[in-house]
Amino acid sequence: MAKDVIQPMDDAVRGEAKGLLRGARSAALATIGPDGYPSASLVGLATDIDGTPVILISGLAAHTGNLAADPRASLLISPGGKGDPLAHARLTLKVSARKIDREAPEGVRIRRRYLARQPKSALYADFPDFSFFALAIEGVSLNGGFARAYAPSPADLMSDPAHAAALADVEEGAVEHMNDDHKDAIGLYATRLLGAKAGNWRAIGLDPDGLDMALGSAALRLPFPASVDGPGALRRILGELAGKARAQAA
């Protein structure tokens, strides 16, 4: 009998899996072609506020036609790093694709979040042949490197749905407020809490589990110590993290 190599889940592993998904800017998307073979392509990636992966793809691309015929697909997130690529964590998702109505509140939010994550896509995002797709997660495999295999549930990667709903209407304003009035705190998050170089870091998005920041093409994610259940908790956690960062800078 083959040895079971799947290790038990814990909060640290859940955080690692969420971080891989939330921090990704690209992924390999494998769709099912008309010949029955999987066909892999590179796509830009962002997430909706609840953690659902979202992509922006052209109707001229083969993978778009493939998804129209069969919405099942697989997404490989592998940020890599120095040395052996197989020594680094990667995430494989089984997903089901759904085209997004741009005019619906969901579509407006997804467009905004995607462009914040992928600003260069503003050059073509509104071309008539481009569409946003949400990729509902139906299965997960996490390889954390050699001898670290896990099988998270789809829920392990998602934010608490009630918390995500509570933040959906205030996220845009909160991000603008951070960039307008708390740029010093954003810089301290990046340099003191995450060890990044100093620069004009800005907030590009937030969700119940963390704050996303960018400096040029570089992106960082600041995970929250607990899931944020609304605007009050968001202000409290951001203030506590700013205090922690200032204490480290003193």
Over residues 115-152, the pLDDT tens digits come to 999 999 999 999 999 999 999 999 999 998 888 899 99
- Average pLDDT on 178-201 reads 96
Over residues 24-54, the pLDDT tens digits come to 999 999 999 999 999 999 999 999 999 999 9
Query: What pLDDT does residue 2 have?
Result: 45
Q: Is 183 exposed, middle or buried (0-12, 13-18, 19+ CB in 10 A)?
A: middle
Select 11-158's CATH number: 2.30.110.10, 3.40.50.720, 3.30.450.80, 3.40.630.10: 2.30.110.10
Size (the chain), residues: 250
d(CA 185, CA 156): 29
Give the torsion through C-alpha atoms of 44, 46, 52, 55, to 10 deg: -30
Give the chain's mean pLDDT: 95
**Residue 47: partners with Cβ closer than 8 Å, 6 or more residues away:** 21, 22, 53, 54, 113, 117, 207
DSSP letter string over 213-236? EEETTEEEEEE-SS---SHHHHHH
Over residues 81-124, the pLDDT tens digits come to 888 988 899 999 999 999 999 999 999 999 999 999 999 999 99
Query: What pLDDT does residue 147 have?
Result: 83
Confidence of residue 3 (pLDDT cuts 50, 70, 90): low
Confidence of residue 1 (pLDDT cuts 50, 70, 90): very low
Domain boundaries, the chain: 11-158, 171-245
d(CA 52, CA 135): 6
What fold characterizes domain 171-245? Split barrel-like (3.20.180)
